[in-house]
Amino acid sequence: MLRIERIELREIRLPLREPFRISSGVCAERRIALLELTDASGVAGWSECVAGEEPNYSAETIDTAWHAMKEWLAPRVLGRPVDGPELVHDLLERDIAGHNMAKAAIEMGCWEVTARLRETSLSRLLGGTRDRVPTGISIGIQSGPDALVERAKRAVADGYRKIKVKIQPGADVAYVRAVRDALGSEVSLMADANSAYRLADAAHLAELDAFGLIMIEQPLGRDDLVRHAELQKRLKTPICLDESITDLDRCEDMIALGSGRIVNIKPGRVGGFTPSMRIHDLCQRHGLPVWCGGMLESGIGRAHNIALASLPNFSLPGDLSPSRRYWERDIVTPAWDMDRDGLVPVPLGKVGMGVAPDMGRIDDLTVRRELLVAQRGNP
């Protein structure tokens, strides 16, 4: 049994070591909402909201998520006894449309609190089966092919097991060709377009088939499963969907329509761990691989992603880079790291997410905080 009595929301500002550019926008400093949820028994757990600064990846931003959590979502769970964290997603879904990232932050926090209540690791609680997860890198759009090649070579030398390069019109075929030529045919390479193309670009995108990419991620519109299905017919390269898969039904539609053959699961995008696991299981039944995407999370969101990525059908490397790739200094101890083979150890021997929030650092970075408590009257 779980009963959340208080949720402390904070916003921290965390500068990236270098700006991260995708086709739909650029980020130099993350504004991250962190949650500390405390159960009636006094056990607390942390989670992170992955909503961005601007509505370029999805409609949500940190400010809309803050509002949704405070006004509609936190009141749903505060003071309410729930039998288990697997019920929280449906509780938050009922009569509240959208706001998946806000829902996910609360839902994932409930899983973390439960892991601590049961004195088990978050990975074990979710049904993880792996003690190490393979890591890929997501490289932002660079000034030219040479700069991209240099980044990609360094990433291979660091041990990353998958290289993802961001593309957009004007920075695509020549960039990918240069990387493939430099890395050779053995390296797992993929491209992510973040919705930058139209179906009319199909012939141009088909030029990427020459480079043996393991997948192309989200080439077309966020909500556009129909045209992705048409595009997939014209490409040899498997399409992987990210932005489009906002819930289990969208994933069923993708499979029914043939809009993609791989899914990038980001728990924030789909509303938490429960829908992530449902999508994971659905894909597994259909023989489709999934992998865990990233949203430039701090060490707290990363911990949650790594626990999820330990589930069996996460068979491709996730965007789960070590802390130092993003930050001068992370907000957790120990910082996240990978070995020379690009594997991150899952902290199975620890309770909960397996890293501790660095409270001094978090306090230094905090620009706003708000305490939400149970109002009388929640059953």
Query: According to CB under 6 A, which residues from 315 to 334 bind ligand OSB?
Result: 319, 321
Site string for ligand OSB, 232-271 (x = CB under 6 A): ----------x-----------------------------
Of 103, 162, 164, 266, catalytic: 266
DSSP 126: H
Q: Which two tokens stand for residue 366?
A: 């905090």
Q: Is 192 in the site for Mg ion (CB under 5 A)?
A: yes
Q: Taking CA 314 as the corner, what is the angle to CA 164 and CA 277, rounded to the nearest 5 degrees?
A: 120
Question: Is 166 in the active site?
Answer: yes
Nearest residue to Mg ion by CB is: 242
Site string for ligand OSB, 172-211 (x = CB under 6 A): --------------------x-x-----------------
Backbone angles phi, psi at 353, to 5 degrees: -75, -15
Site string for ligand OSB, 7-46 (x = CB under 6 A): ---------------x------------------------
Strands 162-166 vs 366-373: parallel, antiparallel or unpaired: unpaired
Q: Which two tokens stand for residue 140?
A: 């932002």
Q: Is 60 in the site for ligand OSB (CB under 6 A)?
A: no
Query: According to CB under 6 A, which residues from 117 to 176 bind ligand OSB?
Result: 138
DSSP 141: P
DSSP 299-325: HHHHHHHHHHHTSTTB-S-EE---HHH
Among residues 61 and 138, whose Cβ is nearest to ligand OSB?
A: 138
In a 13 Å sphere around the CA of 239, the CA atoms on its Cβ side amount to 33
C-alpha closest to that of 107 among 268, 237, 245, 242: 268
Rounded-to-integer distance, Cα 55 and Cα 60, Å: 6
Closest CB 295 distance from ligand OSB, rounded Å:
5
Q: Which of 107, 242, 297, 319 binds Mg ion (CB under 5 A)?
A: 242
Among residues 69 and 216, whose Cβ is nearest to Mg ion?
A: 216
Sequence letter at residue 269: R
Q: Is 36 in the site for Mg ion (CB under 5 A)?
A: no
Question: Is 350 in the active site?
Answer: no
Strands 318-319 vs 290-292: parallel, antiparallel or unpaired: unpaired
| Residues binding ligand OSB (CB under 6 A) | 22, 57, 138, 192, 194, 242, 293-296, 319, 321
Catalytic residues: 166, 266
